[in-house]
Amino acid sequence: MRAAPNENQRNPQAWSFGKSRCLIIPVWIEVVAIAAFAAGEGVLLAAIRPRLRGATLTAAWWWAVLATYSLTLLALPILLLDPGARNFAGADALHYAAAMLTFCPAMAVLGAKRPQHHPWQIVVVSLWAVLALPALEAFVLRRGQSLEISGVRAAFLLGLIGVGVLNWLPTRFCPAALLAAAGQGLLLAEFVFDDAPIRLPRAWALAAACFVAATTWVLVQQRAGGGDRVWRDFRDGFGALWALRVAERVNAAASAHDWPVRLRWSGFVPVREESSPSQQPASPGPWEAELSSLLRRFVSPEWIANRR
């Protein structure tokens, strides 16, 4: 007795990958969209690269490139396969392992302080290996079964997404951080939210990633205005965690030396006028030298000089 054709065979134009069933979109549109998103993000990442010269954010940039093109190089060949061959064993595992790379750029920033910024990449690789472990288990031990993430693992992934958002939420890169979180959510939804009523195409997640690069590029062009540009560019680029740590060190030195200013989120403000952040100290002082000294653990003297 001949078996009834499955849904993919009845509708060869349906978009399908692994266990997910998404909106019915012609495959050629998916291929063109993903290729366009990848090309567009490549151009934008290349444009952003010169802005990072002199900063310890280069490793995070390389992780972003790796994540983008790992997802693209996996998605395109699978979409080009015959509909009946797209559910090959391990497709979900490979996609999940590539999706875990999206957590690596933010983790690289959390260790972007000299001299440990190079050894820190071992920590980043280790994090990716731990996150991708379910993919290895599914590929080796549960071939042919759906890859599902739940419980502690799902909560940990959601927590990592939250860390990325919170680190850049109070900066001018807040829109980019929110878009990055949205892209990660789309990539991981079918693994974490198994009962989700809507399955969105993975191409939409790649589109969100492209918009992240676009937003970042636009915001990089809109450099911080006013005084304390060195501080503001550092604060926005490295995020709240490092900015708060540097501000704490500067303010400790200011208290010890009885300087008339304190470093707040908006920049240096006089001690007696902290309620008016728009007012700046009348002239440079040793506090700026202290800030520059601390920032040299993250950026080069040329990077600082270009923002004076």
Check which CATH number belongs to the domain holding 206 and give it: 1.20.1070
- Same-domain status, 251 and 176: no
- Residue 27 or 24, more confident: 27
Q: What pLDDT digit, counting tens, does each position of 114-161 carry?
A: 999 999 999 999 999 999 988 888 777 666 566 777 788 888 999 999
Contacts of 12 (CB under 8 A, 6+ apart): 27, 83
- Same-domain status, 32 and 163: yes
> Count of domains in the chain?
2
- Same-domain status, 211 and 251: no
- Same-domain status, 280 and 156: no
pLDDT given for residue 13 in this prediction: 41
Q: What pLDDT digit, counting tens, does each position of 52-84 carry?
A: 889 999 999 999 999 888 888 777 666 665 554
* Cα–Cα dist 104/97, whole Å: 12
**Percent of the chain's residues with pLDDT above 90:** 35
Q: What is the mean pLDDT of residues 251-261?
A: 92
Domain finish residue from 221, 247, 279: 221
**Percent of the chain's residues with pLDDT above 70:** 72
- Top mean pLDDT of 86-95, 140-149, 247-256 is at 247-256
- Same-domain status, 288 and 238: yes
Would residue 2 count as lying in a domain?
no
Would residue 152 count as lying in a domain?
yes
Mean pLDDT of the chain, nearest integer:
78
Q: What pLDDT digit, counting tens, does each position of 190-241 carry?
A: 777 665 544 555 666 666 776 777 777 777 766 655 568 899 999 999 999 9
Site of tokens 């990539």: 187
Would residue 1 count as lying in a domain?
no
- Same-domain status, 168 and 287: no
- Same-domain status, 100 and 159: yes
- Same-domain status, 248 and 170: no
Task: Give the range of the structural domain holding residue 106, as residue numbers without chain letter.
Answer: 7-221
